[in-house]
Structure 1
Amino acid sequence: MRTLYVLIGAQGAGKTAWAERHRQRLDAVVLASDDVRNDMVAQGRGDPRDGDQVFAEVERRLRRLLATGQNVILDATHWQRRYRRYALDAARDYGYRTVAVWFDLPLEVIQARNAGRGDTAWGSRAEDSEFVARVHAGLEPPGADEFDEVWRILHGGEA
């Protein structure tokens, strides 16, 4: 069955690396909010810090991909239920099964990974450590009432 994999976790949790590592096995295309942000910067349009602008474009691209019948890995923090709703609504509109891939890692691991980033591009640069800590603390775990399946990634583990 066609599947939308929604990645959930703080910045530095390993979502993008996981998506790249599993895309072939899952026969899926990756759609990352950081790529949308980088496209906005490269094209000089919009504000890549404006979540409403970014996720309007993410949703547009997601719906376009779902309409083709491809499996999709959606790479963004999705740290609160309200930030996942657009993806779940789109998946249901197109008859997709939904899988949450929840990165439940200790804050120390995430902060160490984040601190090791040195690029300036979205997704490769270090984020403010206090912001990452707030996202980690406020992350709402995905539930069976939202998703068809929930895969939980623990430090050193795989789904």
Structure 2
Amino acid sequence: MIGPPGCGKSTFAARHPDSWRVCLDAFRKAATDSEADQSATPIAAEIQNLLLDARLARGLTTVVDSTNIYPHVRAGLLARARYWQRPAAAVLFDVPLPIVEAQNAARDRVVPVHILREHHRLLPTADQLHSEGFGVVHLASELTPVAETLR
């Protein structure tokens, strides 16, 4: 999944079995008692990668629940998929900024607006994701359960 905070990634992930979800926020919380503690991101990423490798090694479907906004982060995910010879699909949360801002404002953990806007600005295009190596790119706006929440 690729998208800024507040765009619906975790809501989307929650529609899948819990065992499929590898969530960076949950690992930050496990390490520090706070999902928002960005100082825990390096250790949370290590935990995410260990679980991702364990699941990919077994050929298990996995949903990576984090922003994945930065190309180097996506490159790492793609490298793991290649290593384990597994396909990689992207769900691009092409949610308009006003909707993302409204959804963010209604969350328990509100992300500062300047960070939200920067992440939204960094969203890749579907073509960019294909060129990076994702075999399939889905637009969240075209996925029925997600599209219904975006109206």
| Same fold, TM-score > 0.5, yes or no | yes
Q: Which residue does the alignment assign to 2:38?
A: 49
Q: Which residue does the alignment assign to 2:10?
A: 16
Q: Which residue does the alignment assign to 2:141?
A: 154
Q: Which residue does the alignment assign to 2:111?
A: 127
TM-score (norm 1): 0.79
8 Å CA contact 1:107, 1:133 repeated in 2: yes
Aligned partners of 1:28 and 1:104: how far apart in 2?
26
- Secondary structure in 2 aligned to 1:8? coil
Q: Which residue does the alignment assign to 2:129?
A: 143
Q: Which has the higher helix share?
A: 2
Distance apart, 1:28 and its partner CA: 6.7
Q: Which residue does the alignment assign to 1:105?
A: 95
Unaligned runs of 5+ in 1: 1-6, 119-124
Aligned partners of 1:138 and 1:12: how far apart in 2?
15
1:17-36 CA distances to partner (integer Å, 9 max, x unpaired)? 11111x25xx9711111111
CA RMSD of aligned residues (A): 2.3
- Secondary structure in 1 aligned to 2:42? helix
Q: Which residue does the alignment assign to 1:92?
A: 82
Aligned partners of 1:139 and 1:15: how far apart in 2?
14
Distance 1:18 1:150, change over 3 A: same
- Name the stretch that deviates more: 104-113 or 141-150: 141-150
Unaligned runs of 5+ in 2: none
Give the number of aligned pairs.
140
TM-score (norm 2): 0.83
Aligned partners of 1:85 and 1:36: how far apart in 2?
21
- Secondary structure in 1 aligned to 2:88? strand
Aligned partners of 2:83 and 2:51: how far apart in 1?
14
Aligned partners of 2:22 and 2:48: how far apart in 1?
8
Identity %: 26
Q: Which has the higher strand share?
A: 1
